[in-house]
A = this chain, B = another copy of it.
Amino acid sequence: MDKKLIGVDLGGTTIKFAILTQDGEVQQKWSIKTDILDEGSHIVPDIIESINHHLDLYEMKPEQFIGIGMGTPGTVDVEKGTVIGAYNLNWKTLQNVKDEVEKGTGIAFALDNDANVAALGEQWKGAGENAANVAFITLGTGVGGGIIADGKLLHGMGAAGEVGHVNVEPGGYLCTCGNRGCLETYASATGVVRVARDMAEEFAGKSALKDSVDNGDDVTSKMVFDLAKEDDVLAVKVVDRVCRYLGLACANISSILHPEYIVIGGGVSAAGNFLLEQVAKYFKQYAFPTIRNTTKIKLARLGNDAGVIGAASLALKFKD
């Protein structure tokens, strides 16, 4: 009775862990550094050791857990519990994560990619308010996402929820994927800076942002949003353009999925309501009436905890 969940959020620099109730309440949290040496071969043993160590510490036994869920970078085979191509972990070859963790801990293990797991976290315990239909967009170094439809993560043939590669400007900026005009090239942290540099070049007026670009300062996405909040003319234009693309992507995602909420998270979303209101304005412009009046755009609420919480929710499937 009253068994617990373990959530693991595996990242390129840190591995976060949490023990949660079945209702998603975090009871314990800890983290370790990610050791990516030797082709990342220490990562899974470190995870196993850290879990076992903390179970000892809290005087808990494997039988007291429903399961472990984990979010990971790379390409995940959800059925088999394997990962391949997680380059920031030095995982180039196939990793049998599920088999190893289950063997090493004696606890059932489930796996999904990091963006999907963050989406689950926000849907379950964050801005998604446990609604059955939620789309999640994370604006970080890249733009990722995850989609929950009828209460379940969508995988399609594996790459569903790749909202960063929704094309918002055919023929636009070149993306790392090889295409031009992906949302990621405009709305990621680096994308925002790219738009700023590009628009600064053609901008003639007075602007602190333009001065920074021209001076060769280390311009950041945060700087662009901060200056826009202070009515810097160029920064306002940059934010407007970024939010227009985000609003368009949200509208098109919604025409396809009709979610209750689109939740926006990640570093760029730290700009808060200032970002949200402008995205929502364009969303309402581009979405057709039924969608416009029912789907709501919200900011993510869980911050860095979305990963462990969503990961833990993966383990709920082992519940009897």
**Interface residues in chain A, defined as those with a beta carbon under 8 Å from any beta carbon in chain B:** 133, 147, 149-150, 152, 154-163, 165-167, 170, 175, 177-179, 181-182, 244, 248, 251-253, 255-260, 285-291, 294-295
Chain B residue numbers with a CB within 8 Å of A251 are 167
- Contact between A156 and B160, CB atoms less than 8 A apart: no
- Contact between A256 and B259, CB atoms less than 8 A apart: no
Selected from B156, B167, B288, B289, the residue in CB contact (under 8 A) with A257 is B156
- Contact between B257 and A256, CB atoms less than 8 A apart: yes
Q: Which 6 A-B pairs have the closest CB atoms?
A: A156-B258, A165-B288, A177-B288, A160-B258, A159-B258, A133-B156
Compute how far the CA of A160 lies from the CA of B167 in the bound complex, rounded to whole angstroms.
20
Known: A149-B149, A170-B286, A286-B179. A154 touches B257 (CB 8 A): yes
Chain B residue numbers with a CB within 8 Å of A161 are 256
Selected from B157, B182, B287, the residue in CB contact (under 8 A) with A260 is B157
- Contact between A288 and B178, CB atoms less than 8 A apart: yes
- Contact between A150 and B154, CB atoms less than 8 A apart: yes
Chain B residue numbers with a CB within 8 Å of A156 are 133, 149, 257-260
CB distance from A36 to the nearest CB of B (A): 24
- Contact between B294 and A157, CB atoms less than 8 A apart: yes
Chain B residue numbers with a CB within 8 Å of A248 are 167, 170
Nearest B residue to A244 via CB reads B170
- Contact between A256 and B166, CB atoms less than 8 A apart: yes
Known: A177-B289, A178-B289. A256 touches B294 (CB 8 A): no
Selected from B147, B155, B252, B258, the residue in CB contact (under 8 A) with A157 is B258
Chain B residue numbers with a CB within 8 Å of A160 are 133, 149, 256-258
Selected from B149, B159, B175, B288, the residue in CB contact (under 8 A) with A182 is B288
| New A-B pairs, 10, CB < 8 Å, besides A154-B257, A160-B258, A177-B288 | A133-B156, A133-B157, A149-B160, A150-B152, A156-B257, A159-B258, A162-B255, A163-B255, A166-B252, A182-B288
